[in-house]
């Protein structure tokens, strides 16, 4: 009987840890995030539901999640820097804290007035990157909030804009392609001066007379597995780990149509088509299925 009680206790602890692995965020920036860079350039509403970052000659700014996560979905509504934003870079990314880093990046590259914003995405896996893609957005992201999402599970990473998949990165680890699957990552936001490279390869510099430059955030959602030191809780199939369900192993038919539309009309750079850069030896994943 004593052994039975011990077993039940261990099982209960296991189930408790397993079920608490998933978190639906509070939506309060003050509770889920901490200011990681230049508090004087971060402004948060009284209720914690909205936040802005400011870039000026003095500094940029940033904030990061208090928890780390292994798989899940993060939705971040953002209104990008309006007007003449050339040289500015807003980063929304997931980052591990290990030397062989994993990273999943959205980077929003500002432009001169009247020219479209560029989204650059990138994936680091086991410390290696060189996987940049760029798209033009099909709307003005400075007029209103739009939701930028990362869906990350054992099978694929999906970058989305207003639920439209703009890029996938599949788990082809069985074929020798590195994939972020073991290291937890924190969520980070930063607004900074990238005018050495961001706009037309650094030709368009920041015009400080147009500043300060403000990016706005609100109503985010984090539904992800909170890292507790044991990967099996996040990798397992459960009601809380909904992102690991079979229907999320690939894009569904509707998503595939949108994905093809983005690829056909809005992609302006794809590392998998840059034969010169890779000297006609493209990375292995470039010849493997995207969904």
Rounded Cα distance, 244 and 151, in Å: 10
pLDDT for 67 beyond 80:
yes
pLDDT given at position 205:
93
When the pLDDT of each residue in the chain is averaged and rounded to a whole number, the result is 90
Reported as a single tens digit per residue, the pLDDT across 130-152 is: 899 999 999 999 999 999 999 99
> Exposure pattern of 33-48 as b/e (b: 16+ CB <10 Å)?
bebbbbeebbebeeee
pLDDT for 86 beyond 80:
yes
pLDDT for 20 beyond 80:
no
Which of 2, 107, 246, 285 is the catalytic position?
Answer: 107
Tell me whether residue 103 is one of the annotated catalytic residues: yes
pLDDT for 5 beyond 60:
no
Task: Count Cβ atoms below 10 Å from residue 66 Cβ, excluding itself.
Answer: 11
Q: pTM of the full predicted structure? A: 0.90
pLDDT given at position 21:
54
Which of 2, 58, 103, 133 is the catalytic position?
Answer: 103
pLDDT confidence bin for 95, thresholds 50/70/90: very high
Tell me whether residue 2 is one of the annotated catalytic residues: no
Give the residue among 55, 62, 58 at the shortest CA–CA distance from 110: 55
Write out the E strands in 171-234.
Answer: 186-193, 213-218, 221-226
Q: Are 161 and 137 in contact (CB under 8 A)?
A: yes
Reported as a single tens digit per residue, the pLDDT across 150-203 is: 999 999 999 999 999 999 999 999 999 999 999 999 999 999 999 988 888 888
Cα radius of gyration (the chain): 20
């Amino acid at each position: 009987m004593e052994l039975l009680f011990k077993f039940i206790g261990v099982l209960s602890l296991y189930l408790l840890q397993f079920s608490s692995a998933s978190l639906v965020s509070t939506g309060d920036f003050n509770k889920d995030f901490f200011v990681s860079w230049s508090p004087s350039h971060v402004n948060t509403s009284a209720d914690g539901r909205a936040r802005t970052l400011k870039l000026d000659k003095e500094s940029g700014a940033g904030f990061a999640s208090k928890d780390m996560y292994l798989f899940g979905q993060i939705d971040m509504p953002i209104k990008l820097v309006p007007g003449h934003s050339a040289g500015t870079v807003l980063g929304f990314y997931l980052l591990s804290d290990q030397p062989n880093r994993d990273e999943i990046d959205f980077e929003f590259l500002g432009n001169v007035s009247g020219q479209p914003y560029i989204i650059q995405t990138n994936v680091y896996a086991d410390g290696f990157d060189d996987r940049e893609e760029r798209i033009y957005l099909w709307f003005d992201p400075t007029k209103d909030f739009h939701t930028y999402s990362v869906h990350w599970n054992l099978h694929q990473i999906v970058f989305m804009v207003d639920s439209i998949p703009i890029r996938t990165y599949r788990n082809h680890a069985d074929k020798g392609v590195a994939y972020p699957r073991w290291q937890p990552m924190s969520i980070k936001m930063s607004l900074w001066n990238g005018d050495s490279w961001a706009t037309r390869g650094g030709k368009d510099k920041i015009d400080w007379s147009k500043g300060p430059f403000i990016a706005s955030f609100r109503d985010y959602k984090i539904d992800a597995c909170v890292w507790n030191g044991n990967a099996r809780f996040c990798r397992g199939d459960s009601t809380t780990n909904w992102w690991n369900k079979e229907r999320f192993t690939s894009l569904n038919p509707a998503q595939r149509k949108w994905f093809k539309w983005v690829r056909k009309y809005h992609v302006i750079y794809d590392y998998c088509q840059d034969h010169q850069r890779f000297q006609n030896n493209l990375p292995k994943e470039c010849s493997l299925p995207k969904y």
